[in-house]
Chain A
Amino acid sequence: MGFSFRVLCFVPETVRRQNQYLETTRCARRLFTLKIDHFQLPKGEVLFFVLSLFCMEKKTTWSKLPALLTALVWTTTTFAVAQTQQPNDSQLQWPVVRHTIKNGLPGMQCMSVFKDNRGVVWIGTKAGLSRFNGEKFENFGIKDGLLGEYITVVGQDPQGYVWFNCAVRGLMRFDGQHFKQYLNPSPDLDTQAHMEQDGTINVSWATPNGRKVHKLKNNVLRPFDWTGVPADIQRKIRDISLTKNKGQYLFTADDGLWLYKNKQLRALAKGTFGFCEAGKLVYGDVFVELRRADGGKDILVWDGQSLRLVMTTRAQAVDGKMARTIKVVRQLPYDYVFDFAGSIYLLEKNSYNCSVIYADNPANEVAYQDTPGKPDAIRYIATEKGLLGLVKNGFKSFTEQAVPYTWSVVEDKVGHYWFLNYEKSLQKYDGRTITEVTDHPKEVQSNEWYYHALKDKFGHLWLPNVHGVVRYDGQRYTNLLKAEKVRLAFALAENKAQNTVAACTFNGVFMIDTRPPHSYRKQRDTTTIFKNLVGCAVVSPGGAYWFGGYGVARYDSLKHQTVYYNRDNKKLNAGGIMSLFFDSSGTLWAGSSRKGLFRFNAKKDVFEQVFGRWLNGMVPFVEQLDPDHLLIADQTNLYAVSLKDTNQVRCFNQNNGFVGIELGQLGSFKDSKGQIWITSGSVLSVLDPAQLDLTPASLRVSIVQVSRTDAPPLRLPFVGKATVVQLPFGQNNVSFTVEALGEDKPFRTQYSYRIREVLDKWSEWQTQDLISLTNLPAGTFTLEVKARRGVLADESAVAKVDFEVSMYFWRSPFFYVYAALAGLFLLGCMVFLWRRQDRQARKIEERERQVRFLQVQTIQAQMNPHFIFNALATVQNSIVNNQQQKAVENLMNLSILIRNFLEASIITDNNESSIFKSEILLSTEIELIKLYVEFEQLQYEDRFEFSFLIDPKLNPDNNRIPPLLIQPFVENAIKHGLLPKVSGGKLWIELRALDEDTLLCTVEDNGVGREQARLRRQNSLASYKSRGTELVENRKKILNEIGYDIRINTSDRPDGGTVVTIEIGFK
């Protein structure tokens, strides 16, 4: 188009004259796209506008004249509609959810609201801080670490901390666990705080000398850098606001609005200004209000470059009524919620539509942050009377006052909607206002309109009530089932091809002709479905009737054939069917009263359950949103399900703005514009599927709090490095509170968890938000939690928390395993020791056996026949020589000697007792030696002399020694030392006690000596071999192994002969 003009020309004259602040811009094309009917200008000003076009356009050429003329014509034609508009107060509203102290808010006066990047809503009230997760409020007070209870929310810094301001006392920073306090250095009134993008907080407080501004950065509070601002202006400053540009600030002073940028102060406008939204940014913009002289206010916006007028407002009493006027002069690229004259208004984005969203409730602050989640997320508004949540996602609803209890909706041929109310009259809605329909004649007048209405192909309405099926052709109401006894038609379905409407009643279906005279016949057979309530009916694209009640019946009215689907023939596993719906692809869906949703499988000719048991009870309707999406309702939720991927589910309910609770049994109504009307136990809603964003938002799950036995509950921080939660010693039970956040949060979220190495499998899904773990083993574990909307939808990402259990080891659940292992180990050790002990015992036994064997051998060697017969010969000799006395004596000695030998051998042979016990008394051994030597002396008379010396310290009656240790050496000395010597032989035996345990025996002879004895043995042909000493040597070795310490030492005597020392001791 090529021409430009000043925007100034749009500004009302009064405004323009006062201010010189508006900047010029090129926006000619946008001008023509404006909807002029919302663009309200006074008549005079429009004229002025047209003229100014000509005056101010400097580059006007005649070639542009047609365009200008067009503009002129357009302006004049719309002249009549461009008028001052009352704010749109249509009863069809965007849903607003209201939370008050009844829902858990700490106080009604909500001063501030903020939604953080996780989707948690923080509400500052005059009675404390509240945290809202879309479902539950958690409140914080002074005891939790707040400085005071009048709290405003400052914002969230880039690290994730959420900041709060307590107006008089200072700032607080919250990490989810603790509040860190930043006390105000000079506790003046009215502290304000704004957070810049980098997390720096501008704190300001009012003083008699103007507002003092400080910056809080990295935990340090520094005075604001006022370079370039004269001190007198500094003092005048009333308020400060951020802008989206770093280092750019707006100030309001007593005389105007100032811009501070690059250390330069510039006056933007003169007048009495105040910041809207407490000076916080709205999508980067700053809103200011200018008080006009006429009592009204102008709302202007600073977008970082220019200050523009958005609207002018005025509230004044006219004829005793408050008249509110809002002139919107500028569209905004976002929805703008504002407070005007005690009510809350919404200026829709890119529109001049301005409507009341909540009357008589002043708003204090709106959470504008375009935080993660969807653009249609709930917008929270802090008001004087609680927290409001505005939902703009395609649903609108009437207030309960306007439309009390609608069961059925129908649209007539002129596009008006008829609402059939239970216990109320009929209502008609023309798109703007609702009027009560009272013109129906007495015979059909009723307050009982709770049946399904219909518009037939002729455009006539069928409005069933308690009197029967009432037909309204635009002029007259006719009751078509007047003659029938039972004429309550719960549902109607029109078969256009056959000009029939099927009216479903409690026992049978009436087929009513849609053409006069509206004859009808009753379709009834004896099957269960027609004996009971037929609750819904639908006509297939092919022209067959489908009825739902007890099961489903398909009726072909041409062939008069009925096919049944119910539990009895196992074609439909549900008792009651509440809704039937053919989607655009021709698939039939059946909603049951208790068993969820079924889909008809035409190939198998059966109904199959879909989506399992997730759908909550009754499914009152199924609707088509677009070719790919169905809208499925259960008692609490609406699901927008993708037919291509049933994991793609959006869920609408109380949490995200669909405010209908307990959806109506008669199902939904789709009007000619494609809007879906949804009845419910609370409000009547209408959904524009075109506005519905069908991309699902994922759930976010987090672990909020730990409850431990013997320890206070512990909140888990959402900022900073996660720490390990310690359980008190000895406690192995713990519970965690979890929460799910997200725009598609279902009425009930499902949670699942696992703990690696303890519960490796994900737990069963639970709807409880408390995870209780009991009887944990000791150790450090990670709890992982995930959430989902139900079987229809994907799962959330996993949230984790580490915790440590420490306790006495025997309280560990695995203690018995460990104990059993330890027990087995010990048993193994015992077995090993026993076997070793056993081996040792057997080794000793073996040694003892050997010793015994050798002892017996020794005895046998000593008791050899040679000796015995020689001894007997000696006795014989005495008898022969008639030496009776001597013979008897020798005989006695011999018997004693033999007895001693025998006894020694008997003890030795006794395997029962230890080898120590086979010792004999030293006195016995002495007696034995003495007797033996005596016998030898008897045999070899006068060949040698013998002396036996016993240490007086020694008591031979107490000392015990292994038998026959000494005797063999005595024998050896006699046989090999002394006997070869002709005469003068001497034998000395000496016994001494070395100490208590050790005995020393010396056997000494002055015989031929060892060398000669050896030579003699070699030369002898069959010499007598003394095996005794040899056996003793062997015995010594073994005895020394089992505890004795026996040393035998043989040496040559200096004067000839041999000395044998036998030392008997113990180790």
Chain B
Amino acid sequence: MKTIIIEDVPSDLLITKHYLAEYFPQVKVVAEAGLISEAIPIIIREKPQLLIMDIEIIDGTSYDLLDQLQKAGVVIDFEVIFMTGHHKFEYATRGFSYSAIDFLAKPIDLKLFIKAVQKAIDHHRPLENAKQIQLLLNILRSEGPATQLAVSLIGGSGTIQFVNINEILYLKADDTMTIFHLENKVTLRSNKPLGHFVQFLQNDPRFSSVSNSLFVNAEQVLRFSSQEQVLTMRNGDLLKMSRRVGQDFKKNIIQSPKNAEKEGTLLRFLKNFFTKGSA
């Protein structure tokens, strides 16, 4: 398997190469690069099957690399293993969660590394892979909230389904899995726990947790009875909210930018005028 490693930290490069040599003799590192500018011609020339790269390199990020590759007309049909020393919740890395792309955190845990490389070897799905990368790049390029979400479905081989986020009604925890309730009565079953989605989707103002097992798109709520603590969704589903909703959900709805727009220009002006006056 033709592999290229893009890494500007020598020790990390050594460790990666060491692990590959030790555990995956079939993986053949054909080139190494320490700069994005260096890497692009190499990739175009070598046409690797696997790319292992650090996200932050001196002259750019791996997204820049992919972006430039795309612009250069290269089809990203190869497997990519991202590595980063950064924590998961930085904005850029959140894109990985949306596009269901795994990445390895440094220092590299050998077990996770083996798993990731093994997966790349086993599940070579160039088309799906390209789509996921496309989604990642889209998310990174656009400034607004992500519109699409890649959901890895249950069922062994880890099929990826792309979902329009605004079509999501709500997410329901089912033990360690998550059921996606979408518009038109479509349901998806993901192999990731609900907490996984909540982690990054909760930063989307549309979404809020109404109980430990329910995560709701507020735009798809038809009615909200704060007395009975029941939400009626657009598709007619009734969702029982837990007590915390009183604070969280309500607040979320009020703060949702869409609702703020509904207040109207005049009201907002007055509100601003008077609140500023009082401040």
Interface residues of A (CB under 8 A from B): 827, 830-831, 834-835, 838, 888, 891-892, 895, 899, 902-903, 906-907, 913-914, 916-917, 921, 923, 955-960, 996-997, 1042-1043, 1065-1067
Contacts and interface: CB of A to CB of B under 8 A. Distances in A.
A921 B215 CA distance: 14
Contacts of B270: 827, 830-831
A1067 B248 CA distance: 11
A912 to B, nearest CB: 8
Contact of B89 (A906, A959, A1066): A906
Nearest to B279: A838
A997 B211 contact: yes
A903 B89 contact: yes
Given A902-B87, A903-B87, A831 B274 contact: yes
A899 B105 contact: yes
B20 to A, nearest CB: 17
A831 B278 CA distance: 10
B87 A960 contact: no
B107 interface: yes
Given A917-B203, A996-B211, A958 B194 contact: yes
B89 A907 contact: yes
B275 interface: yes
Contacts of B199: 921
Contact of A957 (B195, B209, B211): B195
A913 B212 CA distance: 19
A903 B88 contact: yes
Nearest to A999: B212
Interface stretch (B25-33, B70-78, B131-139, B239-247): B239-247
Contacts of A903: 87-89
A231 to B, nearest CB: 96
Contacts of B173: 955, 958
A1015 B246 CA distance: 44
Q: Which 8 A-B pairs have the closest CB atoms?
A: A957-B193, A1043-B247, A1066-B244, A957-B195, A921-B195, A997-B242, A1066-B243, A958-B173
A835 B243 CA distance: 27
14 contacts: A891-B107, A906-B89, A914-B251, A916-B247, A921-B195, A956-B195, A958-B193, A959-B212, A960-B212, A996-B211, A1043-B244, A1043-B246, A1066-B246, A1067-B243
A1007 to B, nearest CB: 33
Nearest to B272: A834
B109 interface: yes
Given A835-B275, A996-B213, A997-B243, 12 more contacts: A834-B274, A838-B275, A891-B107, A899-B87, A903-B88, A916-B247, A955-B213, A958-B173, A958-B194, A996-B242, A997-B242, A1043-B246
B14 interface: no
A955 B242 contact: no
A848 to B, nearest CB: 11
Contact of B275 (A834, A902, A958): A834
B252 interface: yes
Nearest to B87: A903
A957 B89 contact: no
Nearest to A832: B274
Interface of B: 87-89, 105-107, 109-110, 173, 175-176, 193-196, 198-199, 202-203, 209, 211-213, 242-244, 246-248, 251-252, 255, 270-271, 274-275, 278-279
A834 B271 contact: yes
Nearest to B215: A958
B274 A958 contact: no
Contacts of B244: 916, 997, 1043, 1066
B202 A913 contact: yes
A1042 B107 contact: no
Binding site of B, secondary structure by majority: helix, strand, loop or mixed? Answer: mixed
A957 B278 contact: no
A474 B203 CA distance: 132
A957 B212 contact: no
A923 B274 contact: no
A996 B212 contact: yes
B247 A923 contact: no
Nearest to B176: A957
Contacts of A1043: 244, 246-248
Nearest to A844: B251
Contacts of A913: 202-203
B175 A955 contact: yes
B257 to A, nearest CB: 13
A831 B199 CA distance: 37
A1066 B246 CA distance: 9
Contact of A1066 (B175, B176, B242, B274): B242
Contacts of B255: 914
A959 B246 CA distance: 17
B143 to A, nearest CB: 15
A946 B278 CA distance: 56
B193 A835 contact: no
Nearest to A1067: B243
Contact of B274 (A835, A895, A906, A956): A835
A913 B244 CA distance: 16
Nearest to A1043: B247
A923 B110 contact: no
A834 B247 CA distance: 18
A913 to B, nearest CB: 7
Contacts of B105: 895, 899
Given A916-B248, A996-B211, A1043-B244, A957 B107 contact: no
Contact of B109 (A892, A906, A923, A1042): A892
A1045 to B, nearest CB: 8
B202 A917 contact: yes
Given A891-B107, A906-B89, A996-B242, A958 B247 contact: no
A902 B90 CA distance: 12
A508 to B, nearest CB: 84
A997 to B, nearest CB: 4
Nearest to A891: B107
Nearest to A830: B270
B265 to A, nearest CB: 15
Given A1066-B242, A1066-B243, A895 B107 contact: yes
Contacts of B248: 914, 916, 1043
B40 to A, nearest CB: 31
Nearest to B278: A835
Contacts of B194: 955, 957-958
B114 to A, nearest CB: 13
Nearest to A921: B195
Contacts of A956: 195
Contacts of A996: 211-213, 242
Nearest to B202: A917
B16 to A, nearest CB: 15
A834 B254 CA distance: 13
A899 B89 CA distance: 11
Contacts of A955: 173, 175-176, 193-194, 212-213
Contacts of A914: 248, 251-252, 255
A891 B107 CA distance: 9
A960 B274 contact: no
Nearest to B274: A831
Contacts of A1065: 243
Contacts of B176: 955, 957
A902 B247 CA distance: 27
B193 A1067 contact: no
B247 A1066 contact: yes
B192 to A, nearest CB: 9
A453 B30 CA distance: 148
A957 B196 contact: yes
Nearest to B109: A892
Contacts of A895: 105-107
A958 B203 contact: no
Contacts of B212: 955, 958-960, 996-997
A208 B153 CA distance: 123
B195 A958 contact: yes
A923 B195 contact: yes
Nearest to B105: A899
